[in-house]
Structure 1
Amino acid sequence: MRFTSKPMQQWLRATLVMSMAAAVLVGCSGNSRTHKPAELVKVSNQFDLSPVWSANIGSSESFNFHPAVAGDAVYAASNRGNLAKLDLKTGNKVWEVSVPDRLSIGPGSDGRVTAVVTTKGTVYAYDDTGKALWNVNVGSEVLTEPVVAGGVVVIRALDNRFIGLDELTGARKWIYQRQQTALSLRVGYGMLAIGNEVIVTGFAGGRFGMIALANGGLVWESPISFPKGFSEIERLNDVTAKPSMQGEIICAVSYQGRVGCGQARTGNLIWFKDYSSYTGTAQSAEMVFSSNEKSYVTAFATKDGTQIWENTQLTFRDVGESLAVGRVLLVGDAEGYVHALDQSNGEMLARIRHDSSPISAAPISAGGLILIQSQGGKLAAYSPK
């Protein structure tokens, strides 16, 4: 698609509204609260997360940094430009490098090449010994973590371009341009890599789709929600969070829109219902989970969207992205607590204090461990029991 710039007056107006809209999402980082968070209820732990190791990576400031796991290693970064490879089992640092500029988002890695993006839009790539391979400026701010898969580093720029770079040389292999919308949220839009063939991601305007890694072609695109309301902020309904996938079913949720699930191969929705979330979805075999702006955590039946339960005990605690693992749903909050909810009924089963800073990134299950990184920079592995 061809990108046509908007008149300056419209651009300035959209920028102003985007800034106002971004303020709506500040609560997810725990930096500014307009409501008093719910008091923690007493929990008799029926589920245990035993500490295995921890490391200080460095603060992500107000950004939402996720670690990346590839093989038996964890790759993590900080806003100040620290990038480290750690052994998954022990937490020992294999190598650590200093990127020449501050970073706006966490790393992407396939175990051979690790890529990070600076606040100035420069992509830096390193091999698996920590040696610098190449750097390329993409000419735009980047708030979405790169995906490294199928020999390609995929960069999603804030100006709606998807750029495929050769992972070994940094040469541009393809570009996919989304049409610029009049208004969209200034946040990262998560990308879910499926094998070495495609990525699934959300778009502005309540849509999500699948893009081929080989050539950047759009495989399919589906609407999950539609704008409604009168003001431009009311009509925002972007799919910003990374979609989730379990088996052949893929689920997504939009801000001020809907949550729904459909067939991964075609994108055809099986069901959808009104819901709003900027923390995305997590899935088990039979349920999909999400949390709204009030930090109500809700479970829906994957097959038809029936609401199974809703937990309101974490109201206004600014819960982050969640992970469904085993029989529990794990979710962090703005005070550094990690809560374990029973997937079957939403009962609070356990709680640990990971850190005193917000946990907005989803926990990761890898190698029998649960990895959690806080905005304060603590990365730790826990053994679930």
Structure 2
Amino acid sequence: MTVKIKAMKRLLRLASTTILVGVVATALIACSGSSRVRKPSELAAVTNQFDMQQVWSTSVGSSEGFNFHPIVAGDAVYAASHRGNLAKIDLATGNKVWEASVPERLSIGPGSDGRTTVAVSTRGTVYAYDDTGKQIWKVSVSSEVLSEPIVAGGVVIVRALDNRFIGLDAQTGVRKWIYQRQQSALSLRVGYGMLAIGNEVIVTGFAGGRFGMIAIANGGLVWETPVSFPKGFSEIERLNDVTAKPSMEGDIICAVSYQGRIGCGQARTGNLLWFKDYSSYTGTSQSTEMVFSANEKSHVTAFATKDGTQVWENTQLTFRDLGEPLAVGKVLLMGDAQGYVHAFAQANGEMVARIRHDSNKISAAPIAVGGLILIQSQGGKITAYSPK
């Protein structure tokens, strides 16, 4: 087995500069000698302490192996599928206001400010549509794009896999700026989440355990902070990219890296208040007093945002492949690979409710808006629930 591990590491050194998280995980599991390690835990019975009543439901088509997120802008939901279906959905009723058929398969999207809606093809072409569903421009960025685009401040921000951030004019598609990051020797081939703060800046993670703030108007780097540092001897051991979208509550911003650390700091400067050893590629969500995350084992943990003290840990959902978290009200919501949505009490981590959205994986974070909870599975089903 030692020979096999050494051979695998040599191949990875010669491989492309990017790798799939799933490929790495699968390879490591195979070398562990037992596929049973990843067997999902059985679901324990839960007495729902509140109901999630369906208000409306619709479908936009499957995302297949890609990670599509719905976007809310104004009074509408925007969603897309891998086959090129792009839709504007009325938030109140679930009726489709318009649908557009993008002429290529999509790798990510949509991004929208309610006026311009964009999605990116697997060939790296950005397609833009106005608020009637009419295509207004298309631009090639000459690279694969797996990160959800941002539309804010009249700019479309696209993050390519070759470490370029590209700012395009939202009305014309003309390039306004470009910010180039240095290519890492080895990084994760995944979408790196971007968090827009108003129409001024975005916060996003980088390879090598760092995250930073970028100005929307000109692409300038405002600040950059390490949350963790590579450690170990092999390329796999040293991977610690901040791939998930950072979270923000008040003036506190938090981020987590894969095989690295979780930490929170001041949004204005990026200065960290604390950090703890932790590993996650599904990100963080915050309440006023705590930050929540799930590690690769799907163990959910709550930390105090002021000093990083662990408040609780829930291990009931081991290896159920939990998706991105959402802290809302007094609960924490997370979907899993079998289409269940789990609700934890923020105060103590107790599981207080569960629903079955559908049978497809839920990787995107639920969205809380206007008293509704929106959930989209990778099968393309989007449902608005009303918590009662």
Q: What range is the shorter-chain TM-score in?
A: over 0.9
1:1-385 alignment runs, 5 A limit: 13-15=14-16, 18-19=19-20, 22-24=23-25, 35-385=38-388
Distance 2:380 2:179 in 1: 33
Distance 1:18 1:90 in 2: 41
Residue-by-residue CA offset, 1:206-232 (whole Å, 9 max, x unaligned): 000000000000000000000001111
Distance 1:332 1:165 in 2: 33
| Residues 203 and 341 of structure 1: CA distance in aligned 2, closer, same or farther (over 3 Å) | same
**CA apart distance, 1:23:** 3.5
Q: TM-score, normalised by structure 1?
A: 0.94
- Determine what percentage of the aligned residue pairs are the same residue: 78
Residue-by-residue CA offset, 1:124-152 (whole Å, 9 max, x unaligned): 00000001010000000000010000000
Distance 1:352 1:25 in 2: 29
**CA apart distance, 1:24:** 1.9
SS at match of 1:165: strand
Amino acid at match of 1:67: P
Which residue is equivalent to 1:5? none
Residue-by-residue CA offset, 1:321-340 (whole Å, 9 max, x unaligned): 01000000000000000000
| Residues 215 and 20 of structure 1: CA distance in aligned 2, closer, same or farther (over 3 Å) | closer
Q: Which moved more, 1:235-244 or 1:366-375?
A: 366-375
Amino acid at match of 1:217: G
Distance 1:300 1:37 in 2: 25
Distance 1:258 1:147 in 2: 26
Distance 1:231 1:26 in 2: 14
CA contact (8 A) 1:187 1:240 kept: yes
Q: Which consecutive unaligned segments of at least 5 residues does structure 1 have?
A: 1-8
| Residues 315 and 59 of structure 1: CA distance in aligned 2, closer, same or farther (over 3 Å) | same
| Residues 11 and 135 of structure 1: CA distance in aligned 2, closer, same or farther (over 3 Å) | farther
Residue-by-residue CA offset, 1:150-183 (whole Å, 9 max, x unaligned): 0000000000000000000000000000001101
CA contact (8 A) 1:242 1:280 kept: yes
| Residues 292 and 25 of structure 1: CA distance in aligned 2, closer, same or farther (over 3 Å) | farther
Distance 2:74 2:315 in 1: 37
Distance 1:358 1:290 in 2: 18
**CA apart distance, 1:20:** 7.3
CA contact (8 A) 1:22 1:186 kept: no
Residue-by-residue CA offset, 1:54-107 (whole Å, 9 max, x unaligned): 001100001111001000000000000000000001100000010000111120
Distance 1:244 1:47 in 2: 26
Q: Which consecutive unaligned segments of at least 5 residues does structure 2 have?
A: 1-9, 29-34
Amino acid at match of 2:189: R
SS at match of 1:158: coil
| Residues 25 and 347 of structure 1: CA distance in aligned 2, closer, same or farther (over 3 Å) | farther
SS at match of 1:187: coil
**CA apart distance, 1:18:** 2.1
TM-align CA RMSD? 1.8
CA contact (8 A) 1:21 1:185 kept: no
CA contact (8 A) 1:297 1:310 kept: yes
Distance 2:376 2:152 in 1: 23
SS at match of 2:40: coil
Amino acid at match of 1:170: G
Distance 1:33 1:314 in 2: 15
Count of aligned pairs: 373
SS at match of 1:233: helix
Distance 1:213 1:123 in 2: 18
| Residues 126 and 152 of structure 1: CA distance in aligned 2, closer, same or farther (over 3 Å) | same
Q: TM-score, normalised by structure 2?
A: 0.93
Q: Which moved more, 1:127-136 or 1:12-21?
A: 12-21
Distance 2:229 2:320 in 1: 28
CA contact (8 A) 1:22 1:187 kept: no
Residue-by-residue CA offset, 1:288-346 (whole Å, 9 max, x unaligned): 00000000000000000000000000000000001000000000000000000000000
Distance 2:218 2:152 in 1: 13
Distance 1:274 1:52 in 2: 41
**CA apart distance, 1:12:** 7.5
SS at match of 2:145: coil
CA contact (8 A) 1:206 1:257 kept: yes
